Amino acid sequence: MYFITGNRHKYEEAKVILGEIKMLSVAYPEIQADNLEEVVIYGIDYLKNKIDRNFFIEDSGLFIKSLRGFPGVFSSYVFKTIGNEGILKLMGGERHREATFISVVAYYNGKTHIFKGECKGKIAEKVKGDKGFGYDPIFIPEGSEKTFGEMETEEKNKYSHRGRAIRKLRKYLESC
C-alpha cells in the first residue's frame, strides 16, 4: 500500500501505526475548497487510474477558534508564509487560544473510503520543542502540558488528528 505524500513526517507518523507502507511522492492537485474532504476526494479522482496499488492520501489543517477557523484549509500556505511566529503574533494578547487540528485520510481500493480525525487543544504562548513539523511547536493537545514539538512520534500519535484518522484506517483494513 502506498501513502502518497510529499511530507516525510506524515509518512513516519503513519508508518508507526500501519507498519510496512511505502511513501510515494506524486503531485496531485490540491484544490482550494472550504473543507478538507473535498480536497481529498478530488485528489483521489485525479490519482485513481494512475497508481497500480491500493493507496491513501491525507489532508490536514489547523483551525483556530478566535481566528474563526484560520488558517484551516490554507494551513500549508500560511505555514510557508507567516509561519509559527506569524500565528503567535496574530494571537498576541488573546486569552481564548482553543484550536483544533483536523486530518482527513482518503483510502482507495477500487472505492474511496474517508477517515477523519480531530485533536482539540490550544495555541501555546511561545514556540516550544524542535520535534515534528509545521505547527507542532505551537500546539498543545488537550490532556497534555507539552506541545507536539516536544513529543516523540509515538506520543504525538496518541493524541493527534492524524493518529486518530490512521487508526480508523487500520481498523478498516483489519476488517477486510
d(C-alpha 36, C-alpha 59), whole Å: 6
> Which of these ranges, 48-56, 92-100, 128-136, 165-173, lies near ligand ITT under the rule CB under 6 A?
128-136
Residue 3's H or E segment, with its range, is strand 2-4
Cα separations in angstroms, 43 against 112, 118, 150:
11, 21, 32
The active-site residue, picked from 52, 59, 130, 136, is 59
Residue 109 within binding range of ligand ITT, rule CB under 6 A:
no
Least distance between ligand ITT and beta carbon 175 (Å) = 25
Residue 7 within binding range of ligand ITT, rule CB under 6 A:
yes
Residue 61 within binding range of ligand ITT, rule CB under 6 A:
yes
Identify which of 79, 77, 88 has the alpha carbon closest to the alpha carbon of residue 127. Answer: 88
Residue choice 122, 141, 160, 164 for contact with ligand ITT (CB under 6 A): 160
Identify which of 172, 175, 131, 90 has the alpha carbon closest to the alpha carbon of residue 160. Answer: 131
Contact positions vs ligand ITT (CB under 6 A): 5-7, 10, 30, 58-62, 75-76, 79, 132-136, 148, 160, 162
The residues annotated with a catalytic role in the active site are 59
